[in-house]
Amino acid sequence: MAELTIRESIARGLREAIEGDDAVLLMGEDIGAYRGAYAVTRGFLDDYGPERIKDTPISESAIVGAAIGAALAGLRPIVEIMTINFLLLGIDQVVNHAAKLRYMSNGQMRVPLLIRTVTGGGAQLGATHSQSLEGWFASVPGLKVVAPSDPYDALGLFRTAVTDDNPVIFAEHALLYGVRGEVPDAHYAIPFGQAKIKRLGDDVSLIGTSRMVHVAMDAADLLARRGVEAEVIDLRTLRPLDTESAVESAKKTGRVVVIEEAWRTGGFGAEVASRIQEEAFDHLDGPVGRVGGADVPSPYAGKLEASVIPSPEKVADAVSDLFGM
């Protein structure tokens, strides 16, 4: 069993996909000669050549549109969009074409398209480069949205994504690429729609994805000093969403806080909280709490940026305020 970073796990998954299927090709800005904005595709152009590793023009709409055409023609393109903020420039292609063509053709068309993109703030990149928009895409039927938090999940979920015949948004948090963890040498894959219990607890459930799972784990440590044992649930995928695991944890603890980095207003956490409230109401000892990003454009200054992103202290304070723990 090797210890890998998330960056290395995804690179391993990409190499497996390219070497295992001649229909797979990579497309994106600076993924070849520049070796990738986040160094995931370092060395790929040398190893696989320009027919499989395609540097594209700076046009997200053209990139995604060309990839959709390639997918319809029988290829399995993997697109790298440098940041999820830039995916807004291709949102028509994603939402009105990739997500709908299979349904509108009654299954006659397949769009096996995997879009890798970088999400999240915390790196002082300013308001237009620090947004967490995966929840927007998760609201669209026809898309699948994945948000891994550790190297094991990153590789296991990637293997599932690359074989899916539907479009998948694979959201990689900018601050998690260096996170390390054990990854088995033996092949494994993780099905979509299966959450993972990261920490067992009986007093309160903390639920999140991506970097917010790490925030929840740190918050659980803070709560443990008070004698409060928190259970941490990593949803792993936003669509399909594992409502059952979230509800079962809520029934067990009776108290829930949902955590997300995106803005609290209109956030995907509201969907998670609503489902728990609907299905576990009689088991709850209080309202389902939510900790989300502040409703402001992300500041550039480091201290200001940190103040608008959920932190372990904010989560622990929410547990105290809601439940008196």
The answer to whether residue 188 is domain-embedded is no
What is the domain count for the chain? 2
Q: Are residues 27 and 97 in the same domain?
A: yes
pLDDT digit of tens for each residue in the chain (325 aa)? 899 999 999 999 999 999 999 999 999 999 999 989 999 999 999 999 999 999 999 999 999 999 999 999 999 999 999 999 999 999 999 999 999 999 999 999 999 999 999 999 999 999 999 999 999 999 999 999 999 999 999 999 999 999 999 999 999 999 999 999 999 999 999 999 999 999 999 999 999 999 999 999 999 999 999 999 999 999 999 999 999 999 999 999 999 999 999 999 999 999 999 999 999 999 999 999 999 999 999 999 999 999 999 999 999 999 999 999 8
Q: Are residues 24 and 132 in the same domain?
A: yes
In this structure, what CATH number is given to the domain that contains residue 155?
Answer: 3.40.50.970
pLDDT of 317 reads: 97
Last residue of a domain, one of 128, 158, 183: 183
The answer to whether residue 152 is domain-embedded is yes
The answer to whether residue 191 is domain-embedded is no
Q: Which residue has the tokens 């917010």?
A: 212
Count other C-beta atoms under 10 Å from residue 290's C-beta.
20
Q: Are residues 21 and 145 in the same domain?
A: yes
- Distances from the Cα of 87 to the Cαs of 65, 84, 102, 115, in angstroms? 12, 5, 21, 9
The answer to whether residue 232 is domain-embedded is yes
Q: Are residues 178 and 220 in the same domain?
A: no
Residues designated catalytic: 60, 129
pLDDT of 32 reads: 95
The answer to whether residue 189 is domain-embedded is no
In terms of residue numbers, what domain contains 96? 2-183
pLDDT of 277 reads: 97
Q: Are residues 148 and 115 in the same domain?
A: yes
**Spatial CA neighbour of 174 closest among 211, 138, 137, 207:** 211
What's the rounded Cα separation, in Å, for the pair 128 and 184? 37
Q: Are residues 29 and 168 in the same domain?
A: yes
What residues form DSSP beta bridges with 53?
26
Q: Are residues 77 and 152 in the same domain?
A: yes
